[in-house]
Amino acid sequence: MSKDNLGTESYRWDLSVFYSGIDDPQIDKDLEILTERYRKFNETYKNKLAEKLGPALLDVEEIDMLAAKLNYIGLQQSLNVADPVVKAKSADVDRKLSDIYGEYMTFFDLEMVALDQAILDQLYETDPTVKKFKPYIEYSRVFKNHYLSEPVESALTKRSLFGPGSWSEFFDEFEADLEIEYKGEKKTFEEALNILTESKDPEERAAMLKQVDQVMAGPFGKYSAQTLYMKTGSTALEVKDRKYSHPMASRNKSNRIPDEAVEVLHKAVTEVAAPLSQRYYRLKAAHLGMKTLKWSDRNALLPFHDDTKISFDKALEIVLTAYRSFSSTLAGIVETMIEHRRLDVPPVKGKRSGAFCSSVVLPGRKTASFVFMNYFGSRYDVMTLAHELGHAVHFTLAGEAQGPLMYSAPMAYAETASVFGEATTFNFLKQQLIEQGDKKALLALISGTIEDTINTVVRQISFSNFERRIHGMDPSYTTWSEPKKHSIGELDKIWLEVTREFYGNDGDVFTYENAEHLWAYISHFHSPFYVYAYAFGQLLSHSLYAQKDKFGDQFEPLYLDLLRAGGTKDALELLKPFGLDPTNEQFWIDGINVGLGKLVAEMEELSAEMGISVK
């Protein structure tokens, strides 16, 4: 695999900042130290937070940094997915951690959120440590009215590994074992999806989709339907017991986004982004010489697919140049990461698929980010690299500024720097191709980015509507009622309804034959209301990117401050310096138009020059 001449071999992680290996005896020693510190913490601070909140917070920071060392096991697991030793160690450490955390730490959040506001206000005045942690404290207190009693919370934490979450854990194992018959061969689910994207034969793609859809209708679909019921049922219980106003309230609160911003996001994507995506797919059909697309053609490659291979060193150079053109601070952070060997990129056997960035603040307040990917050399991979490095620079700036308790941005704007880095790199690559006059490669780059944006914005909001429906929202998305146990047939029906809301009526742009059971493999539904944040993050970044020219030289320092804020501000506070307001529908419409809208128009223009247009 590494004979690909892309020069990826030497880019492997150096994880020695954590441990020397999975058998390093220090792992168990750290677990023991951690247990002892949690126990001591409980003994020292329980029922005493009103007097000792400052020192307690400093201790939580220390404990947190020690616990961060154990992230090592997760990183090792990504490099050796099937290694039984790593797997066993990971399960063992997870179990011990949730046990000791449930036993000793449950009181902390409960007691902190229950503190009298007058006492807290006094502490903000008199204790500089407490003042420093004000955003952290206030964020925890958002959930003040939603906690249950301590024994109940403690029992729930201890049982969390054996609750609804265990259904989705087994779901992944079940999916990994799926076999899909195709042309007399058995394919894994992953391989089947890959054929849907890679195959240049429409008949072959349609046949593959039929097989996939049938497998989804079998035992796996039944299991999936039951998993969804476990999730919607347990969420409904939480809503009732914890007194949330609706099933999405808890997620919106932890995302630090007001409900109305989430609503206008859904509205703008349905009304503005969905028609744009249909415009794109009509053009795609024209390029493929088809009148309408089958659902199996949705991700098919276009005829001008770009096969250029870019060496990894070249990719780094492109990304660094793009980053530097905008901020030397950000480029500097990337250079340091390369020096410290924090990138693992060759697609070798045993690694998990995909890409991610994992960041920690280690003892001594040392921040470290680790980028993981499978680099195959396409322009798409270069953008993935830019994306993950964006996460890394975000975490580095926030980690240094805010420390272990407040660096992590909520999911909904954790994507800011990554999408931004990707957009900067995209524009750099685009400019290069324009100068080279390579229109086909340019079309490939633009269409790839459009499809990416559609999949992040339109598709995720269609997922979100499916979720809202199965959690009890009515088809016009106005009121909530108790979720019910849906049969496979009922889930199919809801799935097709929401798909049509975004991709058009049957035969309009797409036909939906063999697409009705595809809800069954979307594992994101197992983290309720997780998906809308993808669209939120992407559009927010596009809106922000569009402010770059408007603000000129003033943009970089404002932007770096936004990144440094980490988890200390909510969406409204973060965007205020840029004059942006996410509760206003226009904010989202602008985000859609400056990204997706502009690209679709460019694609139409380039296609027309090639003699291809939609009548």
- Residues forming contacts to Zn ion in the complex (CB under 5 A) are 418
Q: Which residue has the tokens 């126990």?
A: 39
- Tell me if 106 sits within 8 A of 153, measured CB to CB: yes
CA 2, chain centre distance (Å):
28
The nearer residue to Zn ion, 139 or 395, going by C-beta atoms, is: 395
The nearer residue to Zn ion, 418 or 449, going by C-beta atoms, is: 418
The helix or strand, by DSSP H or E, that contains position 358, with its residue range, turns out to be strand 356-362
CA distance 285 to 269: 22
- Tell me if 444 sits within 8 A of 603, measured CB to CB: no
The nearer residue to Zn ion, 420 or 495, going by C-beta atoms, is: 420
CA diameter of the chain = 76
The helix or strand, by DSSP H or E, that contains position 357, with its residue range, turns out to be strand 356-362
Instruction: For the CB of residue 389, give the shortest distance to Zn ion in the complex, in Å.
Output: 11
CA atoms within 13 A on the CB side of 465: 24
Instruction: For the CB of residue 356, give the shortest distance to Zn ion in the complex, in Å.
Output: 8
CB-based closest residue to Zn ion:
418
- Grouping H, G, I as helix, E, B as strand and the rest as coil, residue 356 is strand
Sheet of 356-362, strand order = 343-344, 366-372, 356-362
- Tell me if 189 sits within 8 A of 178, measured CB to CB: yes
Give the strand pairing for 366-372 and 356-362. antiparallel
Instruction: For the CB of residue 71, give the shortest distance to Zn ion in the complex, in Å.
Output: 17
The nearer residue to Zn ion, 418 or 447, going by C-beta atoms, is: 418
Instruction: For the CB of residue 358, give the shortest distance to Zn ion in the complex, in Å.
Output: 12
- Tell me if 459 sits within 8 A of 274, measured CB to CB: no
The nearer residue to Zn ion, 413 or 510, going by C-beta atoms, is: 413
Instruction: For the CB of residue 529, give the shortest distance to Zn ion in the complex, in Å.
Output: 18
Q: Which two tokens stand for residue 453?
A: 């944006």
The nearer residue to Zn ion, 416 or 547, going by C-beta atoms, is: 416
The nearer residue to Zn ion, 294 or 342, going by C-beta atoms, is: 342
Instruction: For the CB of residue 418, give the shortest distance to Zn ion in the complex, in Å.
Output: 4
Q: Which amino acid is at 344?
A: D
CA 164, chain centre distance (Å):
21
- Angle between helices 585-592 and 532-551 in degrees, nearest 10: 80
b/e string for 581-613 if b means 16 or more Cβ within 10 A?
Answer: ebbebebbbbbbbbbbbebbeebbebbeeeeee
Instruction: For the CB of residue 591, give the shortest distance to Zn ion in the complex, in Å.
Output: 17
Instruction: For the CB of residue 349, give the shortest distance to Zn ion in the complex, in Å.
Output: 25
Instruction: For the CB of residue 172, give the shortest distance to Zn ion in the complex, in Å.
Output: 20
The nearer residue to Zn ion, 298 or 394, going by C-beta atoms, is: 394
The nearer residue to Zn ion, 327 or 418, going by C-beta atoms, is: 418
The nearer residue to Zn ion, 418 or 465, going by C-beta atoms, is: 418
Instruction: For the CB of residue 383, give the shortest distance to Zn ion in the complex, in Å.
Output: 11
Instruction: For the CB of residue 415, give the shortest distance to Zn ion in the complex, in Å.
Output: 5
Q: Which long-range contacts (CB under 8 A, 24 or more apart) does 154-161 make?
A: 154/102, 154/103, 154/106, 155/102, 157/98, 157/101, 157/102, 157/106, 158/98, 158/99, 158/102, 158/103, 160/98, 160/102, 161/94, 161/95, 161/98
- Tell me if 512 sits within 8 A of 296, measured CB to CB: no
The nearer residue to Zn ion, 76 or 418, going by C-beta atoms, is: 418
Instruction: For the CB of residue 395, give the shortest distance to Zn ion in the complex, in Å.
Output: 11
CA atoms within 13 A on the CB side of 305: 13
The nearer residue to Zn ion, 416 or 465, going by C-beta atoms, is: 416
